[in-house]
Amino acid sequence: MKEVANQIANAILSLVNGNVPFAIFLVACVPILEMKGALPFGRLLGFGLWPTFWMAILGQLLLGVLLLFLWKPVIFIGKKWIVTRWFFNRLEYLFSLKFDNNSVGRQDIQLKDTANELNADYFCKADQLYISATQKNSVRKFFIVFLLCAVPIPMTGVWTATAVAVLMKTKFWIALLAIFFSTILGGLIILVLTLILGDYLDLLLMSMLFIALLALIVFCIKLFKNQKQRNI
């Protein structure tokens, strides 16, 4: 197992002409692997603990900012492409149903309409209720994005967190803060696990690669089955 892990690590390293910091940076940008794979990868190559940590952090933070801009056009194109249209439309519907600010506090909006027929005080109270509901929604979005990025388990990370943030129509600065703090916390968690499992870094890296491949296969199978059912 260790030989296989070393061969994979050296193969990745050869793609960047032996530049270990840049290789760690790139692994931190790979979906599913991200920091969960970048930290064991760097340590397996014998790179310093803290340099590995900060290169992985840098890679994931820069990727997070980029993805917050890129997911919107990707989702827009996905809704137009016949193969993935059902998937993206369904996702957008589910998230907008629960988190769209336009749907938050609809009863409060009705109170506003009624307020015109009553008095200014009642109108102000309805307005405050609506603002409060919107603020609570923003806080909820922040913690959802934070947890999706911070918890180091399969299918979580900056790719998932930013996609969910865009689907929830989260404000850019709220999503950015959530990504920043969750990346630091998630990195520290993985750092501790790397120290504890230092003798099993090869197994940890191979597990991350296996999970990434398995998740990709499962996603492709589900995509194919759903498309086939829609064509029947």
Closest CA to 7 of 202, 201, 213: 202
Question: What band does 41 get if pLDDT is binned at 50, 70 and 90?
Answer: confident
- What is the arithmetic mean of pLDDT over 7-27? 82
Residue 46's pLDDT band (cuts 50, 70, 90): confident
- Whether the pLDDT of residue 61 is over 90: the answer is yes
Residues 86-140: tens digit of each pLDDT: 778 877 777 766 666 544 444 444 444 554 544 555 445 545 544 555 667 788 8
pLDDT score for 60? 93
pLDDT band, residue 201 (cuts 50/70/90): low
Q: Which of 7-16, 29-38, 176-185, 210-219 has the highest mean pLDDT?
A: 176-185
User: Is there a contact between 152 and 110 (Cβ–Cβ < 8 Å)?
Assistant: no
> Residue 201 in contact with residue 57, Cβ under 8 Å?
no
The answer on pLDDT for 142 being more than 50 is yes
Q: Angle at which helices 49-80 and 158-167 pack, to 10 degrees?
A: 40
For residue range 165-182, what is the model confidence (pLDDT) as tens digits?
998 888 899 999 999 999
Which has more pLDDT, 32 or 163? 163
Q: 157, 160, 158, 152: which is closest to 196 by C-alpha?
A: 152
Can you count the helices (H) and strands (E) in the chain? 10, 0
d(CA 109, CA 114): 9
Got the DSSP string for 122-155? Answer: HHHHHHHHHHHHHHHHHHHHHHHHHHHHHS-STT
- The structure's pTM equals 0.73
> Mean pLDDT over all residues of the chain?
77
Using the predicted structure, report yes or no on whether residue 32 has a pLDDT greater than 70. Answer: yes
